[in-house]
Amino acid sequence: MTKSEENYIKAIYHLGGHRSQLITTNAIAEEMDTKPSSVTDMAKKLADKGLVDYIKYRGISLTEKGTKTALSIIRKHRLWEVFLVKKLDFSWDEVHEVAEQLEHIKSEKLIDKIDELLDFPKFDPHGDPIPSKEGEFFERDKQLLSEVSKGQRGICVGVKDTSSAFLKFLDKNKIALGNHIEILEKEDFDNSLLVKIETKEIHISNMIASNLYIKINT
């Protein structure tokens, strides 16, 4: 497969096409920042390879083979992110773009060795689950901080927005995965929050809270 084909497969997976849900060419075009006509051309190529089901004028979904391929690409990407952070001291806002390049390396032996070297991590530096070689992964019970009620406590386990700008903002405010968070106040007007992160109190906007995942303490 070409890099372009792999990128399309991964995009369709993230848009939900792995659930036999048809994804429109317009949605894929927006995700890939290209023209719908280009998506249609690629869909035909991927269908010929047995990776997608393409229904003209309706949309595209991944076949079983396509889903396995997408999970393999995602596994490589997320393992590379862990490797870059743990072994090469990259910060979590730097790794995505580098992993985008490294995920296209074909050697399965190399990826298996990296997985073993890292002691088979279950999550990447942003809290996203890493598929196993068999395509299985562990999903945490989590919810967005914006959906949590006043008085609840939990642990920050992931980020929805993985952009460099957002991750740098979190670093600047010393917000990180593993932090204990308590919701002290929730404003009715704009849904902004006063939260206690470890021992520090901080006001955060609804936009920030809508991009942080928390696992509620039980």
pLDDT in tens, 121-146: 999 999 999 999 998 988 888 999 99
In the predicted model, is pLDDT for residue 20 greater than 80?
no
Domains of the chain, residue spans: 3-62, 74-139, 143-216
Taking the model in full, what pTM does it have? 0.89
Please give the class, per CATH, of domain 3-62.
Answer: mainly alpha
> Is it true that 3-62 and 74-139 share their CATH fold?
yes
| pLDDT (average), residues 9-32 | 92
74-139 folds as Arc Repressor Mutant, subunit A (1.10.10)
Query: According to the model, what pLDDT value does residue 150 have?
Result: 94
Q: Are 122 and 137 in contact (CB under 8 A)?
A: yes
Mean confidence (pLDDT) of the chain: 94
Superfamily for domain range 143-216: Ferrous iron transport protein A (FeoA) (2.30.30.90)
In the predicted model, is pLDDT for residue 85 greater than 90?
yes
Query: According to the model, what pLDDT value does residue 132 have?
Result: 93
| pLDDT (average), residues 86-92 | 96
Query: According to the model, what pLDDT value does residue 138 have?
Result: 85
